[in-house]
């Protein structure tokens, strides 16, 4: 069967996964009475909860006798490593752009990678029915973006379609007709995207591993595109690393092809096919899976370096081991290294003491998703505040990562956003209207200044601002940036928090715990209204004597506490604090729980 391999790439929330849903439905991948859900490709629990795509996934449909393999990609820059890898599997790309927002930072990032590997994209203007849509301006912005990214003349001559992925139609005219559904898009894919370029149809089998997953029945499953030759079950293969060394040899136990959202075992796969293979235990992403006669590894696309790092430590709090069953450094180490195998954008290093690990990634969101996944698996651990990865230039200058930040905000709030960003050493590059009474602000800001800014931005703009970030480059260190202005309230002993004590402490600042919660000395229970830390007694109960005041007793009415979510807590804690993560709770604490230790190490730091 003839074949086409395409990726759908776009900024977050521009409708990639919804479009894939409609393509599957309209191509006849489901029975008429088959039950389907929204965003079928987002199979992971966290993806469904957050409404974002985290892992790249492959599917395939049949259209007019041609098999079209489609790869759905993440839209967040934090998961850009997924996108960089899959571009080597495809021969074309559909660039989806929102008719109102236009090309955003992630669009720029992904399109730049796609143009570099020589893909000729199809541009689809999505959400054409938005009342604030401006498709003509958006087309000009897309053309300017392609030109700025050094696109060739062939790449600049891109075909354009308009439509709505949610309503299931695309057409060369913004007005329709809509009754053809997505047929114009699929026809254009067959016409515009070249057939897979294969090395040698009858040569030796070679394939680069692109996606990795663990299956409880089949073991390790590697997905990739066959570069040359063909493969059958039980065929002997070997795995070569990027430097040409043999990692392992073995036999293929199963070959799985993507058919709709199902994976079907097949008896033979040929050059150009995107398939998943099982049966090997060590081969990983970017390795070459090949015939035993092959001696040279295929070249894999280089991946951008991580920009943010965090420490993952063994939980040593007094409540350690009471809620999770995976608490030792050995099981945490095994889990982290297993994650790094499949996620090439992550880098794991062990500390000298072997009890903590430095985990580096693209951003806080990527690391927050890893922590959330681990706590759901039963892990208990402590994590530090994210820190940026600095570099030294050849002349000894300290270099730090700079991000391009695009903020869409109502005009009335633009002043406070500019002020807060300038305090974070950001430089404004652009200010322009973006439809309605909103403006688009573009800044170049140090990554360390943006840690924790998302929640502050939403507070300042009453929840109306949308911020998007993208790694720009490394620039000389910008100097000190002010941190959190408030101190914290610390418990001075262990026990269960009492409502009466919390009521009397409300003047000191808002609480972050509920009455009845277990606390221990050194645990953060609230936010101090001043800039210093204060130890308080949150266990003090009411004196139950028979002596009463003249006035009748009042019922204790507490102000609802500020609940710290995982993402918020990560960005809120300071360098001398940790977040304790268990399957049931997220607690904040000082690194040194004993007050004397805190004083001693605080003085040593100042000295």
Q: Residues comprising the binding site for GTP? A: 13-18, 126-129
Angstrom distance (rounded) from CA 486 to CA 510 = 11
Examine residue 177 and say whether the peptide bond preceding it is cis (omega within 30 degrees of 0). yes
Angstrom distance (rounded) from CA 33 to CA 23 = 17
User: Can you say which residues are annotated as belonging to the binding site?
Assistant: 13-18, 126-129
CB-side neighbour CA atoms (13 Å) of 339: 22
Q: What count of residues does the chain have?
A: 607
**Quick one: CA dihedral 142, 144, 146, 152, positive or negative?**
positive
Examine residue 493 and say whether the peptide bond preceding it is cis (omega within 30 degrees of 0). no
| Secondary structure letter of residue 287 according to DSSP | P
How many Cβ atoms from other residues are within 10 Å of residue 463's Cβ? 8
| Backbone region of residue 139 per phi and psi (left: phi > 0; alpha: psi in -120 to 50; beta: other values) | alpha
Angstrom distance (rounded) from CA 172 to CA 123 = 11
What angle do the packed helices 414-423 and 453-460 form, to 10 degrees? 150
Q: Are 318 and 277 in contact (CB under 8 A)?
A: no
Looking at the DSSP assignment, which residues form a beta bridge with residue 276? 223, 256
Angstrom distance (rounded) from CA 388 to CA 393 = 16
Angstrom distance (rounded) from CA 218 to CA 117 = 33
Angstrom distance (rounded) from CA 51 to CA 74 = 11
DSSP string, 484-512: ----EEEESS-EE--HHHHHHTGGG--BS
Helix (H, G, I), strand (E, B) or coil at 570: helix
First and final CA of the chain: distance in angstroms? 72
Q: Are 4 and 66 in contact (CB under 8 A)?
A: yes
Angstrom distance (rounded) from CA 289 to CA 227 = 10
| Secondary structure letter of residue 586 according to DSSP | E
Class of residue 199 by CB neighbours under 10 A (exposed 0-12, middle 13-18, buried 19+)? middle
The residues, ordered by sequence, that sit 6+ positions from 49 with a Cβ below 8 Å of its Cβ are none
Q: How far is CA 274 from CA 27, 225, 325, in A?
A: 19, 4, 39
Helix (H, G, I), strand (E, B) or coil at 466: strand
Looking at the DSSP assignment, which residues form a beta bridge with residue 384? 578
- CA quadruple 348, 353, 356, 359: dihedral, nearest 10: -20
Angstrom distance (rounded) from CA 383 to CA 225 = 37
Q: Find the DSSP H helices in 27-180.
A: 45-50, 80-86, 105-116, 135-148, 153-156
Class of residue 547 by CB neighbours under 10 A (exposed 0-12, middle 13-18, buried 19+)? exposed
**Tokens of residue 62, six digits:** 């049949």
């Amino acid at each position: 069967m003839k074949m086409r391999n395409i990726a759908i790439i776009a900024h977050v929330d521009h409708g990639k996964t919804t479009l894939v849903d409609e393509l599957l439905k309209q191509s006849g991948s489901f029975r008429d009475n088959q039950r389907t859900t929204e965003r079928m490709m987002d199979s992971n629990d966290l993806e469904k909860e957050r409404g974002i795509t985290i892992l790249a996934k492959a599917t395939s449909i049949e259209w007019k006798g041609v098999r079209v393999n489609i790869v759905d990609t993440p839209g967040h820059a934090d998961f850009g490593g997924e996108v960089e890898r899959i571009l080597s599997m495809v021969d074309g790309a559909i660039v989806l752009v929102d008719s109102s927002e236009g090309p955003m930072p992630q669009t720029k990032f992904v399109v730049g990678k796609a143009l570099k590997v020589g893909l000729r994209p199809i541009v689809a203007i999505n959400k054409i029915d938005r009342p604030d849509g401006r498709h003509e301006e958006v087309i000009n912005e897309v053309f300017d973006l392609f030109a700025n990214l050094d696109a060739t003349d062939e790449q600049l001559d891109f075909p354009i379609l308009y439509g709505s992925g949610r309503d299931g139609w695309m057409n060369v005219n913004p007005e329709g007709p809509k009754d053809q559904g997505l047929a114009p898009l699929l026809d254009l894919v067959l016409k515009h995207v070249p057939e897979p370029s294969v090395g040698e149809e009858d040569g030796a089998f070679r394939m680069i591993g692109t996606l990795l997953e663990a299956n409880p029945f089949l073991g390790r499953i590697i997905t990739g595109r066959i570069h040359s030759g063909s493969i059958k079950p039980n065929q002997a293969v070997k795995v070569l690393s990027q430097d040409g060394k043999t990692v392992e040899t073995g036999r293929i136990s199963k070959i799985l092809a993507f058919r709709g959202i199902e994976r079907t075992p097949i008896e033979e796969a040929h050059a150009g096919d995107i398939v998943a293979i099982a049966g090997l235990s060590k081969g990983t992403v970017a390795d070459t899976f090949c015939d035993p006669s092959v001696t040279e590894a295929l070249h894999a696309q280089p991946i951008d370096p991580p920009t943010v790092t965090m420490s993952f430590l063994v939980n040593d709090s007094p409540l350690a081991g009471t809620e999770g069953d995976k608490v030792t450094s050995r099981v945490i180490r095994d889990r982290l290294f297993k994650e790094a195998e499949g996620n090439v954008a992550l880098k794991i290093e062990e500390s000298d003491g072997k009890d903590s690990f430095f985990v580096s990634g693209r951003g806080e969101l990527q690391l927050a998703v890893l922590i959330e996944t681990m706590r759901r698996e039963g892990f208990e651990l402590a994590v530090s505040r994210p820190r940026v990865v600095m570099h030294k230039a050849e002349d000894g200058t300290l270099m730090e990562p700079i991000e391009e930040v695009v903020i869409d905000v109502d005009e009335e709030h633009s002043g406070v956003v500019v002020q807060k960003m300038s305090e974070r050493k950001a430089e404004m590059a652009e200010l322009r209207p973006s439809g309605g009474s909103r403006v688009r602000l573009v800044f170049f800001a140090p990554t360390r200044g943006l840690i924790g800014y998302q929640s502050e931005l939403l507070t300042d703009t009453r929840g109306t601002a949308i911020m998007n970030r993208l790694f720009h480059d490394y620039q000389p260190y910008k100097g000190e940036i002010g941190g959190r202005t408030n101190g914290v309230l610390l418990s001075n002993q262990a026990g269960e928090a009492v409502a009466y004590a919390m009521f009397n402490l409300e003047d000191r600042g808002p609480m972050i715990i509920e009455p009845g919660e277990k606390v221990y000395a050194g645990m953060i229970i609230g936010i101090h209204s001043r800039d210093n830390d204060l130890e308080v007694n949150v266990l003090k109960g009411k004196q139950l004597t028979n002596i009463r005041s003249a006035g009748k007793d009042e019922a204790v009415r507490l102000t609802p506490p500020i609940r710290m979510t995982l993402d918020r807590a990560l960005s809120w804690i300071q360098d001398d604090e940790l977040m304790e993560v268990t399957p049931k709770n997220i607690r904040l604490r000082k690194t040194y729980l004993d007050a004397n230790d805190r004083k001693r190490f605080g003085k040593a730091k100042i000295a």
